Amino acid sequence: MSAALSRLSLWFGAAARAKPLPVRGMNGLRAPLSATQGAGVDQALVWVTVALLAWGLVMVYSASIAIPDNPRFSKYAHNYFLLRHLLFLAMAFVAALLTFQVPMSVWEKVAPWLFVASLVLLAAVLLPFVGKAVNGARRWIGLGFMSFQPSELAKFAVLLYAANYMVRKMEVKENFMRAVAPMGTAVAVIGVLLLAEPDMGAFMVIAVIAMGILFLGGVNARMFFLITAVLLVAFGLMIALSDWRRERIFAYLDPWSEKHALGKGYQLSHSLIAIGRGEIFGVGLGGSVEKLNWLPEAHTDFLLAVIGEEFGLIGVLCVIGLFLWMTRRIMHIGRQAIALDRVFSGLVAQGVGIWIGFQSFINMGVNLGALPTKGLTLPLMSYGGSAILLNLISLAVVLRVDLENKKLMHGGRL
């Protein structure tokens, strides 16, 4: 991995020898950018990503090693999920390297077509002989060696499409019907398809990505608050009209009651037990008890609970700090692109920041009992091929935005 990163730096990291150029930030101030600051890819962002991936790999193995002890999964080897996660990481790393070669101008051209492709896949997953049902949810398309989840592609496609849409509608962003309504309709269509799976968690992430890009793209504040109100009412109705969603809310409010402890509140209560056992410094790597078939989905949705049990409060704070730094850094790259009048690139980068930041916030909130249970993985760390693949592709796009920013700031051409 280290050798590959070194080659990546050599391919794209030829240091510029030009004089420092002034860069205008979002606050209008001008600050010099030295040649060393503008050389190659963002090394810090790359290494934080590698740290999260490596830690996630270790924790997936730790959280899944006892799964074959359950008679339902007795046919699996103890390293089954580890080997598959390694395969997913290798595939995602190759895909990220290829994505990094693609100029942002190409992404701007293909954004509408990628959005249409994601709609087709979301519709296809609902077909009986195409979609794969697991635990009553039809969210995957079987590809033999892995199951692909179209909702992960939809997150990436929506942020590209929303950024492209705002660039095209820049002149009419004060007009609600012409600027916002078409984008709202597109998100609503995706929402209908996702709720049919059902996958309300993915719909929430996609809605927040679209809203965030609209806001950062300059949509009128009154329109933004109107959209927010409409979405809040919509999500409230989804919960009110669904028995099992209402049960999740009640279980979240009282997970320890006799009714919920063995029902909808089972995962949450055992997640809290795991984090409570970890205390400050944890019980040590591999020492988790809750992963021994007590906590369901310990290697996916509730990986942070196992981290909290084995590494304690210190480990949880480290994970939070890494994601906070990553989100802040990605948003900075986006602001820098917008300051260079590269609005599409800037909005795409900021959309990735919103995606990773919001989804990690939801996952952490669920694991810590601050939010109702939702089926969202922890980006870059949880087990899952589709999520890892699209996470690394999106981060490769951010690194491409950063590289093109630095080329322009050093007098180069794209």
Whether residue 8 lies inside any domain: the answer is: no
Choose one of 241, 268, 302: the last residue of a domain. 241
Which phi and psi angles does 141 have, rounded to 5°? -115, 120
pLDDT at 173: 56
Same structural domain for residues 59 and 145?
no
Same structural domain for residues 235 and 361?
no
Same structural domain for residues 222 and 132?
yes
Please give the Cα distance from 272 to 308 (Å, whole number).
Answer: 9
Same structural domain for residues 267 and 294?
yes
Query: How far does the chain reach from its first CA to its final CA, in angstroms?
Result: 29
Domain of residue 122 covers 107-241
Which phi and psi angles does 22 have, rounded to 5°? -70, 140
Whether residue 146 lies inside any domain: the answer is: yes
pLDDT at 252: 80
The residue among 169, 161, 176 whose CA lies nearest residue 206 is 161
Alpha-carbon separation of residue 205 from 6, 172, 189, 193, 252 (angstroms)? 34, 26, 15, 14, 20
H-only helix segments in 198-342: 200-216, 221-240, 243-253, 258-261, 266-278, 303-339
Strand partners, 142: 147
The residue among 405, 381, 397, 256 whose CA lies nearest residue 320 is 381
Whether residue 250 lies inside any domain: the answer is: no
Q: By CB neighbour count within 10 A (0-12 exposed, 13-18 middle, 19+ buried), where does 388 fall?
A: buried
H-only helix segments in 340-371: 343-367
Encode the chain (414 residues) as per-residue pLDDT tens digits. 444 445 444 443 433 333 344 444 434 434 444 433 444 788 999 999 999 999 999 999 999 998 888 887 778 888 999 999 999 999 999 999 999 999 999 999 999 999 999 999 999 888 888 777 776 678 888 787 778 899 999 999 999 999 998 888 766 555 666 667 778 888 888 988 988 888 888 889 999 999 889 888 877 777 778 778 878 888 888 887 777 778 878 778 878 877 777 778 888 889 999 999 999 999 999 999 999 988 888 999 999 999 999 999 999 999 999 999 999 999 999 999 999 999 999 999 999 999 999 999 999 999 998 888 887 899 999 998 899 999 999 999 999 999 999 998 887 676
Please give the Cα distance from 380 to 363 (Å, whole number).
Answer: 12
Same structural domain for residues 111 and 92?
no
The residue among 379, 381, 400, 402 whose CA lies nearest residue 155 is 379
Choose one of 215, 241, 267: the last residue of a domain. 241
Q: Give the length of the chain.
A: 414
Q: What is the DSSP string of 304-345?
A: HHHHHHHHHHHHHHHHHHHHHHHHHHHHHHHHHHHHTT-HHH
Choose one of 241, 275, 299: the last residue of a domain. 241
Same structural domain for residues 292 and 163?
no
pLDDT at 27: 41
Count of domains in the chain?
2
Please give the Cα distance from 27 to 25 (Å, whole number).
Answer: 5
Same structural domain for residues 117 and 190?
yes
pLDDT at 18: 36
Same structural domain for residues 268 and 314?
yes
Strand partners, 24: 30
Whether residue 47 lies inside any domain: the answer is: no
Whether residue 315 lies inside any domain: the answer is: yes
Return the DSSP state at 179: H
